[in-house]
Amino acid sequence: MNKTVIIINGRGGCGKDTLCDITAEHYRVMNVSSITPVKNIARLAGWNGEKDPASRKMLADLKKIFTDYNDLCNSYLVNCLDEFLSAGNDSEIMFAHIREASEIAKFKSCVSPLCRVFTLLVKRETSGYSHEALGNTSDDDVESCDYDFVFVNNAPDIETLANDFTAFLGHVILKEQ
């Protein structure tokens, strides 16, 4: 299998990490997020890992500051990409979690000459899933990008989700090798 980078996005709670875990049951996966260095900085300032609207806004604002200052998050992802592509790394798929359309485009342009890259939007439309605005553009504008693929997570249970996504991944995304 050739190395593939999947830039994954979707609103909070739609199942992105679960889909990455499902994929890891069938492929060797590297799972990284552009917000990781920002979360590390936020922890130093007292953030405890909450995912409430105020915390999400703080992280989005902090990410914007570091993007403008030194492109911290994209630099972090490019370092992860270098590790993914290194001779000693046997990972087949790298999931890169990125929220902002401009950051998705920037990272995709870094990847495309080096290996296959796709963008994937994960949506959830089940009852009880909230689509209300969270008050920051990083979360609220996830659908403002043109994605190569969209996966709708409406599975009633984890087994169905695993079957649905494994089929989607194998037939739609990875068949293009």
Task: Look up the CATH number of domain 4-176.
Answer: 3.40.50.300
Q: Would the pTM of this model clear 0.75, i.e. be above it?
A: yes
Per-residue pLDDT of the chain (177 residues; tens, 9 = 90+): 689 999 999 988 889 999 999 999 999 999 999 999 999 999 999 999 998 889 989 999 999 999 999 999 999 999 999 999 998 999 999 999 999 999 999 999 999 888 999 999 999 876 565 567 667 676 778 888 999 999 999 999 999 999 999 999 988 776 655
Q: At what angle do helices 158-168 and 16-24 cross, to 10 degrees?
A: 70
pLDDT at 92: 94
The count of residues in the chain is: 177
Domain ranges of the chain: 4-176
Strand 4-9 and strand 116-123: the pairing is parallel
Residue 174 DSSP class: G
Q: Give the dihedral of Cα atoms 100, 103, 108, 109; nearest 10 deg.
A: 150
172: tokens are: 């739609």
Residue bearing tokens 């609103």: 11
